[in-house]
Structure 1
């Protein structure tokens, strides 16, 4: 799979990245064998960039991903994780973590910490869980409610770690493009990860984040390609950003599916490829909880998509006319 550089760094990424949230038992449990098979299938399909976070299953995702990747040559893949939430053990079992979205025992509590010390402690804990001696890319994770501290304290700490060679690339990951734009303009980030804000149904990142990143030479990684489900299987009752999708959004997604069908292309394929119409997008993160899911995602990514499909989506008003779209071979 084709690889590109992240901004001005020496860190590269495959066009598709493996998202490790499901390895942390996102919403429902996944057994160790199934989780390992998903990572193995991603590797077999050519994916060499793997993303995780302490938040995902209270460290379960990091532990599982590390166990599988430690059997691979370290120079052949790129690994990213996140800082900003410290995991602190609790005394005894106090239920599960489903309130935070993960089907794991609540053995730890999360504590927000975007101080310089918190960044270093979080990274040290992640290295232990992963069983690694280095991480290629580190993101500040969801600093929405801590922007001033994240910019004033966490980012300088990451810049120092980058200067020391402990990490190769630094950035921030959020579900909102506006705050990420502030990071691009006010700090020396190499890459930002934006989830759900540059998809077939939501191109809000095009108004602020993508132009700023392009101007500053920062790379953009996109996640949430299916907006949590609606673009994967549009139907009444489907979810959009982890809540029930409105009737208007369901109707729009169904119309997109009809346009895609006329060209013999699954809507999922268009959803995976769409963001690559913008030259600043370096990679798309695809979450998977099984080998079949990640194999299907790569298959959709590889499908030929005629330029006429994008043109039809635009002329029908389902995509704005000024949104950059992939061209054949993009």
Structure 2
């Protein structure tokens, strides 16, 4: 089969795109494979461009042209399968709140501040504007703590863990927090926070704040540490009847296999499904953005608002989520279900890091002193 220069060029490009599309299917946890989970939207747009150019520039009378077009279309369809749920083309997973019950409402700002960022006033301004019940910050060190402590007049309930390793965390809340704990679930220098929040109605919500390390050449060469941290949280919250929220910078995208495994194992819901991607990273480069900051919740909530907030100098946008605690469980059958393979895979991830769901604090089980 003779190929001219243009056909050969498109063949090479198509084969590269096939490799980038197919590699994440394997479950190897090495960082350079798992990083291909992230840019699915970008790959979708690149493949779409190549597909259209093949139709325009190549000789459609040749069978090899249609082979290239078919391969590109298959890759395009596969990438779309992952990202379309995070568009308005897909049904919402979590119902919208029909009314706002202020006593059962909870508003949370999740913000990776970027430790070297010095625009604390920008984040404080967002807090004053959106009036969250809870602010959680990631990458916050002692400098950030000094700046954010000005919020304590209105946000007197706090959990503080300032670190200078890009994994410090702080929680500021204007609603009571009970049985709060800081835990190091998988890695000894990567904290997580666990608490029970008391709504004005008297209902309690179990909340977990997370920031596991990403798979990368400068952090962990594999995703196993991150994955294990997510799975033990998932296993733990799956066993409680208390309303649950899990939020933070999970260093994983909404559509990855690992995040889907987390949702299947935990039974938690993603309010972004059917509403949008809410790409919070990277704030400085529009062409490499993906949903890196998350909030998942149990079946007990409806969504009143979810919004990516304006830039405040970090490499992340902050995520604002407003949920309403409901008496019914209308979302119960809208989530993802785990099969036997999923459960086995989850167990393998925990075993790989020698961790267990029992390592996760359960604040609803702790007696108040």
Higher relative contact order (CA 8 A, sep 6+): 2
Larger radius of gyration: 2
TM-score (norm 1): 0.38
